[in-house]
Amino acid sequence: MPFVLSWAVLVSGAIWLFDALILKPQRVAAATTLTSAGTREIDAERVAQEPIIVEYARSFFPILLLVLVLRSFLAEPYQIPSESMVPTLEVGDFVLVNKFAYGIRLPVIGTKIIDVGEPQRGDVMVFIPPHDPRYFIKRVIGIPGDVIRWENKALFINGKRAGYEFVSQFEERTPFGFIPIREYTEKFAEGPHQIYRYAINEQPREWVVPEDGYFMMGDNRGKSEDSRVWGFARESNIVGKAVAIWVHKAPGFNWPSFSRNRWFD
């Protein structure tokens, strides 16, 4: 979307500018000449008339430019496509992404031009992963220099185990039967958050976060393809910080709902 929008702004602006500097003066001069020669006024007006493509470019350029500025530098909506962040975010949630929380970046290429802040552990962040051009949304677990260990479904950050408090247990039906799921409150940063744990055996693993990377995980630990699979989110591919749920629309023919609206801690 940023790529297409940037090109739309560039093309419409170029057409408008080329007409204003070159084509329009030629049309006006030709119309003036016809009028002086006694040509009918309606014919002169037809010669001076703005081409339809220029009219569209002049009309859409300011709107497209405004949308590009808003999406690139201020805020952007993002719809949750999967269950990887349940229970924090559900499929169909529309979140508001703060585009300047981690710095002002150029659209499309993502180069940071103004440094505002850095991602912190516990942030819910939108980014482009190394293996997929689409936007992903996960929670920041490790920042540059951290040592992350995943053992017995628990996080260890720089040797310190995250805090866990049991909330509830329920079962999820699958083609292979019912799978027990436990909900916990996890805390390793300023604000606690809810996670799901599945009864799935995993080998202990450890990662060292590089200087330009972030270790990301979904809150739905059994249904999240994240840094445990594809590595680190790179600083150059950060999109922004998710700050709020502003509307929810369940999949299918359902009306939007504002029942889940809230700001993130």
- Could you list the active site residues? 84, 138
CB 211 within 8 A of CB 93: no
Contacts of 175 (CB under 8 A, 6+ apart): none
For the chain, the first-to-last Cα distance in angstroms comes to: 29
- Which neighbouring-strand residues pair with 93? 248
- HEC string of 140-173 equals EEECCCCEEEEECCEEEECCEECEEEEEEEEEEE
Q: What token pair was written down for 143?
A: 């920042």
CA dist., res. 186 & res. 51, Å (int): 62
CB 8 within 8 A of CB 108: no
